[in-house]
């Protein structure tokens, strides 16, 4: 008796010539974008060199802000000092409030919390680091300072210190981290930023 079996498998799908060209083009485009992304991140993260310095505007335009890298290519970039950020406000009538240690508030929120908020761990510190990286009078310097002011305003509101004030001032306490076993006590350097007028958006300060 002859066993007759029907071949029920679907025939292979054959793409048209234009479909193959389109797929090839998309694959090449994806590979090109990946190569550019890899090269841009590599140049931004590596130590300054001729190429990264020459094409800094283009590289920053490509990587900022979505692909920002907060690490070094050949090793970490540990903090060399402990920085505390304090703020005080001034009312429209000229009354100046007390200094409020925002860094201490963050430390208090982090302690004994097994899953601390990234905002408490990094937001204020990163904002200050970003501000230090630019000239205060440059457009990016003004932008990063406004970012710092916005963070401080949100923190003051959360602390119940009022939602309306005419100006805000920053006090920065910077204490160098000494090597283990050092006999010298580190000296804290205190600096102040000029009063920032809340109604001004273009960098004006009194």
Residue 7 banded pLDDT, cuts 50, 70, 90: low
Q: Is 57 exposed, middle or buried (0-12, 13-18, 19+ CB in 10 A)?
A: exposed
Distance from C-alpha of 83 to C-alpha of 174, rounded to nearest angstrom: 5
Is residue 197 within 8 A of residue 204, CB to CB? The reply is yes
Question: What separation in angstroms does the CA of 152 have from each of 40, 102, 104, 127?
Answer: 33, 8, 13, 10
| 42-49 contact pairs (CB < 8 A, 24+) | 42/73, 44/69, 45/69, 45/71, 45/72, 45/73, 46/73, 46/74, 47/73, 47/74
Query: Which DSSP state fits 195?
Result: P
Location of structure tokens 């505390």: 84
167-176/100-101 β-pairing: unpaired
Would you say residue 115 has pLDDT above 50? yes
pTM: 0.60
Q: What mean pLDDT comes out for the span 65-74? A: 62
Is a pLDDT exceeding 70 seen at residue 199? Answer: no
In the predicted model, what is the mean pLDDT of residues 37-42?
Answer: 85
Residue 75 has pLDDT above 60, yes or no: no
**pLDDT at position 204:** 43
Please state the three-class secondary structure of 176-191 as a single string: ECCCCCCCCCCCCEEE
CB atoms within 10 A of CB 150: 11
Break the chain into its structural domains and give their ranges.
Answer: 17-63, 81-197
Nearest to 81 by CA among 173, 176, 180, 190: 176
- Mean pLDDT calculated for residue range 44-73: 74
To the nearest whole number, what is the mean pLDDT of the chain?
81
pLDDT bracket for residue 104 (50, 70, 90) = very high
pLDDT band for position 202 (cuts 50, 70, 90): very low
In angstroms, the CA 146 to CA 155 distance is: 14
């Amino acid at each position: 008796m002859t066993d007759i079996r029907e071949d029920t498998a679907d025939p292979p799908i054959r793409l048209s010539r234009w479909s193959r060209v389109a797929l090839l083009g998309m694959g090449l485009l994806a590979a090109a974008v990946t190569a550019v992304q890899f090269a841009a991140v590599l140049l931004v993260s590596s130590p300054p060199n001729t190429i990264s310095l020459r094409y800094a505007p283009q590289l920053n335009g490509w990587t900022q802000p979505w692909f920002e890298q907060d690490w070094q290519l050949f090793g970490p970039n540990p903090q060399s000092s402990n920085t505390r950020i304090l703020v005080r406000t001034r009312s429209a009538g000229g009354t100046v409030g007390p200094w409020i240690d925002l860094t201490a508030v963050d430390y208090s929120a982090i302690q004994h919390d097994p899953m601390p908020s990234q905002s408490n761990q990094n937001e204020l510190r990163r904002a200050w680091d970003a501000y230090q990286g630019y000239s205060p009078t440059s457009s990016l310097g003004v932008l990063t300072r406004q970012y710092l002011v916005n963070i401080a305003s949100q923190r003051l509101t959360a602390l119940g210190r009022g939602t309306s004030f005419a100006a805000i001032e920053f006090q920065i306490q910077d204490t160098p981290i000494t090597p283990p076993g050092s006999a010298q006590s580190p000296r804290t350097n205190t600096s102040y930023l000029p009063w920032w007028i809340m109604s001004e958006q273009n960098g004006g300060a009194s």
